[in-house]
Structure 1
Amino acid sequence: MYRMEKLQNQLKTWRRDLHKRPELGWCEYQTTAYIYHVLKPLCFTLHLGNEVSSKEKMGVPSSEVDRLHFKRAEEAGIDAKLLEKMAGNQTGLVATFDTGKAGKHMAYRFDIDALPIFESNDASHLPAKEGFRSIYDGHMHACGHDGHTAIGLGLAQLIHEHRNELNGVFTLIFQPAEEGVRGAKAIVEKGWLDHADYFLAGHIMGQPLGTVVPGVASALATTKLNVTFTGKSAHAGGNPEEGRNALLAAAQATVQLHSIPPHSQGATRLNVGTFHAGSGRNIIADRAELELETRGETTELNAYMAENAKRIIRHTAEAWGVDYAIDRVGEGISAKSDPQWLEMVKRALAASNLVEEVSDRYEAIGGSEDATFMMERVQQHGGLATYLLYGSTLAEKHHHPFFDYDERVLEIAVDSLWRLTLHLQ
């Protein structure tokens, strides 16, 4: 039916090339250029720069972080014209192909960013052992997005090779800044999903190799907040009464934030992940910074947590006489796969010699995903959306310095997406 055998080694090569050069969200300059050069000879129209996302981006990194990644891209020899189009955090790519024949509009999403994690260099870690460990210490593909990108490139190759046999329109979204749920909403606001009949995203997960879960029962909604308390510094011994202590305001807020009552309608979460304050032992701290997140089983439950968190921050600041600022740097809503996918996936993958089992139920994922914004937009316009899970044994769990997966999952995922594509024609 198609040349999966020839794609096997190519998928591994793409994955390993990408794994070596991880980039944080909104800074995926080398990654986007890599995708561009792989897709350029194919049948797709490639959209870059400000064509991909709206201006309303969440969680854009500091200029210092951006300069670091941009400089790395320059040093790697990325084409200056490509870099110019992407400058200012305009990363990511959308590839479109219109067959010119009546048919469905199919949209797919593949996330491309990495994490601020120091990858293990232990000899037992396969990327270290086989020479494709991250060359940038402190940054790592520890969530499988290198594989997701390779899966997208593999699907694009099959669409190109069989372009004369296909109908309808195809949109492949290579999304920046999934980590921290920052990137999808800006792409949705650009209109890329407004006319899609089918939407598919997916993730490599810790399940038996060859297992495909046809959809998600739920994903936690979430809000990511950065909070700054601003007071007034003073000498802690000489004139402490003149100070306004931002550190103590932040400390009290941290404790109180973790006391928000659970909700009777479902699971809720809150975590203050970082706390930075103070400049010396004898100085009343005039600045304190928190990074925190809320989560909820539904969008409404997460809103309950987020609004209570903001209330506590506001009142704590007032009690200590300090100013505060809250910056929403990421957001994800809850979403469910449409029920029709359960049977559609089973039928489409029944003849696969790579997929060993299609689960007969959807899974709840214990985290959050901003592909939910894309799912929601497609569903709002009458289309069907799902989020597949591709099973693989994992060396360690996601976001771990030893994270790795069985690379055979790449061909299983491409095979699954391609068979679904043909089935839905």
Structure 2
Amino acid sequence: MTEDIERLAAGLEDGLIRRRRDLHRFPEAAWTEFRTASMVATVLLALGYEVRLGEDAVCRKSMLGVPSEEELAGHMERAVSQGGDPDLISRMAGGLTGVIGELRCGEGPVVALRFDMDANDLDEARDDDHRPWREGFASTNPGAMHACGHDGHVALGLGVAELLAGLKDRLEGTVRLIFQPGEEGVRGAGPMVDAGALDGVDYLLGGHIGFRAPRTGQLVCGVGGFLATTKFDATFTGVAAHAGAAPEQGRNALLAAANAALNLHAIPRHGQGASRISVGVLNAGQGRNVVPPNALIKGETRGETTGINDFMFERAGEVLAGAARMYGVDLVLAEVGRSVSGQSDPELAAVVRQVAENMEFFKTSEIMDSLDLRGSEDFALMLAEVQRRGGLGTYIMLGSDLAAGHHNARFDFDERCLAPGVSLFVRCVLGCMELPRRV
């Protein structure tokens, strides 16, 4: 069967590249992936998968950092104008853009694969040195770009779906494909978990193109070192006043936020492991001669363990509240994303290695058993949930030459990794189905 899979995956290469480039042209950020999700659902339905959409795939109560209803409505209209299915999109109203496809193939383990769909909040480079622009598939949506390879992840996922559907009569178990919104900002995994996306899952596979495997032919079989993280918005509200005639009547939200920004970075590092704090955005004020009545901080904490991250976020809350009290302004602190720490299971990483060693595409010397991510990923929350229930999971890094780093306006990856990536995931599914049920 493995030779059949290699041949079938190679035959998908042109289609995988076309789909990736189509997705690259129409990027959609977290909770607005209406066109992307409708395309995914359309393909899965045509392949014979049972498909869950809307509140069957995403728990509305668990969603964080959701755009306003007005913004969502505009994105839905845009998605339809760019070729999305209006009936499917209507079922995703409110930003419920997760999609779950299931293929039941008799008794056996439940194997889940997660693919993230969202783009970055970033304007793409527009000059001939950038291949997507030069070859006509750069982003057409202002302020959004697939600068992290999630367009490739969706293409991979749909290629896996196609191959597995064709092999259905030879499979023993259940395949569950999870297409997740909102990985950027770690917002999408939790609501899909709460909607039951991982119920009964014995084995969970996920992965990423490039990042810690920046050369084509490389492979990391089991990524660890996921940093727990909390994303937050801190809104300061003061009182406006004439900055020259009556400054004493004002309450300066800008100074409160500036004080907080400095002191957030003064939180002590943690002695039990790595910790991080970042203020990425500070917006404040309304006019040169007006005491600033408003300020907004967008920031994040991270920790090598969930406990360390909790420490950082608790201290951040104290710093923010103290700055607000000092300047007599009001504070609203909102969590807009969160994920936990995590480690892939070596037992499942060993399955990935065994598969990869039998594929010509991967260089044996470039196959790594494990590597620390040294960053945060929404997959960690799904991984922790599967492990809590007794299952196993692993996160794979699929090597690719990169034109620029992730989240860069010139990001692009080597599309030669797509077809081998499909073959790898399909063969890993088969390997998992030979293992005993765990849940």
TM superposition score category, shorter chain reference: over 0.9
Tell me whether 16-25 or 40-49 shows the greater mean CA deviation: 40-49
Deviations 1:50-106 (A, max 9, x none): 11110110111234432331221132243332121011111121101111x210000
Counterpart residue type for residue 92 of structure 2: M
Q: CA deviation at 1:308?
A: 0.4
Which secondary structure does the structure 2 equivalent of 1:392 belong to?
A: coil
- Give the alignment of 1:199-218 within 5 angstroms: 199-205=204-210, 206-218=213-225
CA distance in 2, matches of 1:110, 1:91: 13
Q: CA deviation at 1:271?
A: 0.8
Identity %: 43
CA distance in 2, matches of 1:235, 1:64: 34
Q: Tell me the equivalent position of 1:384.
A: 392
2:22 pairs with 1:17: yes
Q: CA deviation at 1:204?
A: 0.5
Q: Tell me the equivalent position of 1:237.
A: 244
The correspondence for 2:372, drawn from 364, 376, 385, is 364
Query: If the length of structure 2 is used for normalisation, what is the TM-score?
Result: 0.94
2:324 pairs with 1:324: no
2:304 pairs with 1:308: no
2:256 pairs with 1:249: yes
Contact 1:98 1:168 in 2 (8 A): yes
Contact 2:55 2:195 in 1 (8 A): no
Counterpart residue type for residue 71 of structure 1: E
Which secondary structure does the structure 1 equivalent of 2:375 belong to?
A: coil
CA distance in 2, matches of 1:9, 1:151: 12
Distance change (3 Å), C-alpha of 1:275 and 1:400: same
2:372 pairs with 1:353: no
Which secondary structure does the structure 2 equivalent of 1:329 belong to?
A: strand
Q: Tell me the equivalent position of 1:62.
A: 68
The correspondence for 2:345, drawn from 325, 335, 338, is 338
Deviations 1:367-424 (A, max 9, x none): 1101111101110111001100000110000000100000011112111111111122
Contact 2:160 2:425 in 1 (8 A): yes
Contact 2:223 2:371 in 1 (8 A): yes
Which secondary structure does the structure 2 equivalent of 1:340 belong to?
A: helix
Contact 2:187 2:337 in 1 (8 A): yes
Q: Tell me the equivalent position of 2:13.
A: 8
CA distance in 2, matches of 1:36, 1:342: 29
Which secondary structure does the structure 1 equivalent of 2:350 belong to?
A: helix
CA distance in 2, matches of 1:398, 1:77: 27
The correspondence for 2:107, drawn from 102, 105, 114, is 102
CA distance in 1, matches of 2:75, 2:85: 15
Q: CA deviation at 1:36?
A: 1.8
Q: CA deviation at 1:318?
A: 1.2
Number of aligned residue pairs: 424
Distance change (3 Å), C-alpha of 1:265 and 1:281: same
CA distance in 2, matches of 1:185, 1:212: 27
Tell me whether 401-410 or 230-239 shows the greater mean CA deviation: 230-239
Counterpart residue type for residue 75 of structure 2: H
Counterpart residue type for residue 89 of structure 1: G
CA distance in 1, matches of 2:276, 2:217: 32
Q: Tell me the equivalent position of 2:406.
A: 398
The correspondence for 2:425, drawn from 412, 417, 423, is 417
Query: If the length of structure 1 is used for normalisation, what is the TM-score?
Result: 0.97
Q: CA deviation at 1:31?
A: 0.5
Deviations 1:229-276 (A, max 9, x none): 111111111221111111111111111111001111111111111111
CA distance in 2, matches of 1:74, 1:168: 36
Counterpart residue type for residue 385 of structure 2: R
2:134 pairs with 1:126: no
Which secondary structure does the structure 2 equivalent of 1:40 belong to?
A: helix
Q: Tell me the equivalent position of 1:228.
A: 235
2:86 pairs with 1:73: no
Alignment gaps of 5+ in structure 2: 434-439
Counterpart residue type for residue 272 of structure 1: V
CA distance in 1, matches of 2:44, 2:17: 17
Counterpart residue type for residue 154 of structure 1: G
Tell me whether 338-347 or 273-282 shows the greater mean CA deviation: 338-347
Alignment gaps of 5+ in structure 1: none
Contact 1:220 1:367 in 2 (8 A): yes
Contact 1:354 1:415 in 2 (8 A): no
- Give the alignment of 1:84-233 within 5 angstroms: 84-99=90-105, 101-205=106-210, 206-233=213-240
Which secondary structure does the structure 1 equivalent of 2:369 belong to?
A: coil
Contact 1:349 1:420 in 2 (8 A): no
